[in-house]
Amino acid sequence: MTFAVVIGALATFAMERAPIEVVSLAVVCVLLVFFHAVPLTDAAGAIRLEPVRLLGGFANPALITVIALLVMGRGIARTGVLDRGAGWVSRLGGRRAWVSVVLALVVVLAVSAFLNNIPVVVIFIPFMQTLAERIGDSASKVMIPLSYAAILGGMTTLIGSSTNLLVNGALVELNQTPFTFFGFTVPGLVLACVSLVYVVGIAPRLLKERGSLADTLIEGGGTQFIAQITVSEKSDLVGEKAPGGVFPKLMEMTVRLIQRGEEAFLPPFEGYEVRPGDELVVAASRKAIADATSRDPGLLYPDLRDGERPSDEHDPRWESGERVLAELMVAPSSSMIGQRLRQVGFRYATHCIVLGVRRRARMYRARMTEIRLDAGDVLLVLGRRDDVDALKANPDVVLIARSARDLPTLNHAWRAIAIFVVAVGFAASGVVPIVVATLSGAVAMVVSGVLSAREGLRAIDAKVAMTIVAALALGIALLETGGAAFVARGVVEALGEASPATVLSFFFLLVAVLANVISTKTCAVLFTPIGIDIAARLGVSPEAFAVAVVFAANCSFASPLGYQTNFLVMAPGRYRFMDFARAGLPLIVVLWIAFSLFAPWYYGL
């Protein structure tokens, strides 16, 4: 019956006809009902699979650690730390874009060893697209390598992947010695380095050229908005000059007009010096506007009367980073048509601030607040999430689907870095258990103001949590019913008199193949007890087989469904299912050969 539930769960996961979290809960319920109706007892008559045992996944340290790492990763991403890292890579690579590509993949691999892979890949997607354009290649040549580098990095430390933590949790459940923080870092680095050579040098050659999708970047593409900067007395722009007609502190913006009182200045701005009270009309991308607003909240608040500041500008919710950038389209029947922003009073009616205006292909040399709105104009607005969500019911505008993005809080970057480094440091040194260090770090992110409580809760992925709970329940059922021992015995008998090294190699390949068919997390939990039983039957240390599960379960390279980062890069790279098989299957073979040669020597088999 347990095997039937396992096979049914895996088949349902693969078909994706129902949400993963619903299927996971259903699996747990089936196990609870069955083992209540048909209790599994030991020789003394005691029940071995009580509900508290099957539901133990909800309080499993591995699950708590994964959730805590998701929250800390959200804090790091929200403060713009990864964006700055991408900029550093670009500057280090200089004009040699191919060097920047290699450096970016190395940085992604290194960062993914300590941080959740998803925000890392999300931040680097637009960066890699830009690099691909600079070297004259399609984004399809670099997107899959980006995902693969993140997965490889996650194989090098205990917290690098939720898969690693689940294997470690299964070892504790089996009364085996758990991994230390860097318990498999040496073989992990060997496999990662060997695989990175393939990812950089061979994988791009196997991928087909596919045209790029215009404006599909997560940051909103390269489209330009007209925005307006009001220079305050404390602004960094005071005294700024424009040698060659370019303002050094506004490199990502094109200044189209400067208004000083009744006098207007047009480019070039040779000899011009910025003074307090100047109004700069600029053309800038959404990302440039977001970065400027993050560095100096209030820099781009042009639609207020007489220089008045919003009364809630210093509201703690704004300072904690709960600000959202979104794009609105002026509706065809809007009452705003034909009016200027000052006349509309948008800020007072909606509690959202208009930062920029885009009108098809036209670019104005006039104050943004003087532009008369027309149907189809796109407004870039800043507001609290509740206020932005309320715009869905506003008949004058249409909230563009999926355009809402949290605004980075750059002023909290060092605070987030300090919390993350301290938490990881305590976990790596063994001063406190990993679950204690990471959970404390997650709470510190909220208490210190890096994240609001709501943002912290939004960082928790229900799919990840419920998949882990279901996988742990299935793993416990396989262990207690003898299913794991049955499979282990079958594997050993099938290989006959083969050496432990051969059995280990076959076991790795089996898990690696299944990791591309079923969930990597489920694979990790189900095969850990099987690997331990195989080691016991061979009379060797179980560590090598546990490490084999860690690495093999992470080999989700041949399917876009195998790991979340593969799915993330599908649209930017315009990939099809077979693209992942074309690039991923050879990588699995490379990892299998490297592991089969190195692991037996390293673990003395």
Mean of pLDDT values over 499-506 = 90
Ranked by mean pLDDT, the top range of 28-32, 60-64, 231-235, 379-383 is 28-32
Mean of pLDDT values over 274-291 = 76
The whole-angstrom separation of Cα 387 and Cα 405 is 13
Range of the domain at 454: 69-214+413-458
Among 373, 402, 431, residue at a domain's last position:
402
Asked if residue 537 belongs to a domain, the reply is no
Same domain, 271 and 310: yes
Same domain, 122 and 256: no
Nearest to residue 111, comparing CAs of 140, 77, 63? 77
Q: How is residue 42 written in tokens?
A: 């030991």
Average pLDDT, the chain: 78
The whole-angstrom separation of Cα 407 and Cα 297 is 11
Write down the pLDDT at residue 14.
65
The amino acid at residue 350 is: T
Write down the pLDDT at residue 547.
93
Q: For 128-141, write each residue's pLDDT tens digit.
A: 776 776 666 677 88
Q: How is residue 529 written in tokens?
A: 């007890």
Q: How is residue 350 written in tokens?
A: 């909606």
Question: 591 pLDDT exceeds 90?
Answer: yes
Write down the pLDDT at residue 320.
44
For 335-371, give one letter per residue: b (16+ CB within 10 A) or e: ebbeeebeebebbeebbbbbbbbbbeeeeeeebbbeb
Cβ neighbour number for residue 213 with a 10 Å cutoff: 14
More confident call, 434 vs 265 = 434
C-beta of residue 375 within 8 angstroms of C-beta of residue 342 = no
The amino acid at residue 339 is: Q
Same domain, 384 and 436: no
Question: Sorting pLDDT into bands at 50, 70 and 90, what band is 363?
Answer: low
Which residues pair with residue 362 across a beta bridge? 359
More confident call, 129 vs 102 = 102
Question: Sorting pLDDT into bands at 50, 70 and 90, what band is 76?
Answer: confident
Which residues pair with residue 285 across a beta bridge? 224
Question: 163 pLDDT exceeds 50?
Answer: yes
Least confident span in 167-176, 184-193, 253-262: 253-262
Q: Are strands 323-330 and 353-358 parallel, antiparallel or unpaired?
A: unpaired
- CATH number of the CATH domain containing 354: 3.30.70.1450
Mean of pLDDT values over 108-125 = 79
Distance separating the N- and C-terminal Cα atoms of the chain: 36
Write down the pLDDT at residue 194.
93
Same domain, 267 and 338: yes
Write down the pLDDT at residue 411.
66
Question: 25 pLDDT exceeds 70?
Answer: yes
* 162-173 helix and 462-481 helix, angle to the nearest 10 degrees: 30
Mean of pLDDT values over 7-19 = 75
Question: 186 pLDDT exceeds 90?
Answer: yes
Mean of pLDDT values over 250-276 = 76
Q: How is residue 291 written in tokens?
A: 């970065």
Question: 548 pLDDT exceeds 90?
Answer: yes
The amino acid at residue 70 is: L
Question: Sorting pLDDT into bands at 50, 70 and 90, what band is 504?
Answer: very high
Mean of pLDDT values over 478-487 = 78
More confident call, 191 vs 262 = 191
Angle at 234 between CA 416 and CA 323, to 5 degrees: 40
Question: Sorting pLDDT into bands at 50, 70 and 90, what band is 207?
Answer: confident
Q: Are strands 253-260 and 263-265 parallel, antiparallel or unpaired?
A: antiparallel
| Domains of the chain: total | 2
Mean of pLDDT values over 169-180 = 85
C-beta of residue 185 within 8 angstroms of C-beta of residue 157 = yes
Same domain, 307 and 355: yes
Same domain, 362 and 432: no
Angle at 502 between CA 498 and CA 507, to 5 degrees: 115
Asked if residue 263 belongs to a domain, the reply is yes
Find tokens 């997560």 and name the residue.
218
Same domain, 228 and 208: no
The whole-angstrom separation of Cα 538 and Cα 536 is 5
Question: Sorting pLDDT into bands at 50, 70 and 90, what band is 586?
Answer: very high
Write down the pLDDT at residue 605.
80
Question: 221 pLDDT exceeds 50?
Answer: no
Among 458, 473, 492, residue at a domain's last position:
458
Mean of pLDDT values over 506-519 = 82
| Cis peptide, bond prior to residue 39, ω within 30 of zero | no
pTM of the model: 0.67
Write down the pLDDT at residue 85.
64
Question: 508 pLDDT exceeds 90?
Answer: yes
Least confident span in 121-125, 190-194, 307-311, 380-384: 307-311
Asked if residue 316 belongs to a domain, the reply is yes
Structure-derived torsion over alpha carbons of residues 419, 568, 159, 99, reported in degrees to the nearest 10: -80
C-beta of residue 558 within 8 angstroms of C-beta of residue 594 = no
Same domain, 126 and 151: yes
Least confident span in 203-217, 271-285, 451-465: 203-217
Asked if residue 159 belongs to a domain, the reply is yes
Write down the pLDDT at residue 379.
83
Asked if residue 148 belongs to a domain, the reply is yes
Same domain, 282 and 395: yes
Question: 595 pLDDT exceeds 60?
Answer: yes
Nearest to residue 173, comparing CAs of 21, 63, 69, 68? 63
Question: 453 pLDDT exceeds 90?
Answer: no
Share of the chain above pLDDT 90, in %: 9
Same domain, 384 and 426: no
Ranked by mean pLDDT, the top range of 20-24, 194-198, 328-332, 390-394 is 194-198
More confident call, 545 vs 347 = 545
Write down the pLDDT at residue 598.
94
Question: 314 pLDDT exceeds 70?
Answer: no
Mean of pLDDT values over 268-278 = 77
Q: For 365-388, write each residue's pLDDT tens digit.
A: 566 667 788 888 888 887 777 788
Same domain, 262 and 363: yes
Asked if residue 595 belongs to a domain, the reply is no
Question: 212 pLDDT exceeds 70?
Answer: no
Write down the pLDDT at residue 228.
75
C-beta of residue 489 within 8 angstroms of C-beta of residue 530 = no
More confident call, 436 vs 490 = 436
More confident call, 354 vs 291 = 354
Question: 321 pLDDT exceeds 60?
Answer: no
Sequence-ordered list of residues with C-beta below 8 angstroms from that of 377, at least 6 positions apart, any chain = 329, 330, 357, 358, 359
Write down the pLDDT at residue 318.
45
Same domain, 104 and 244: no
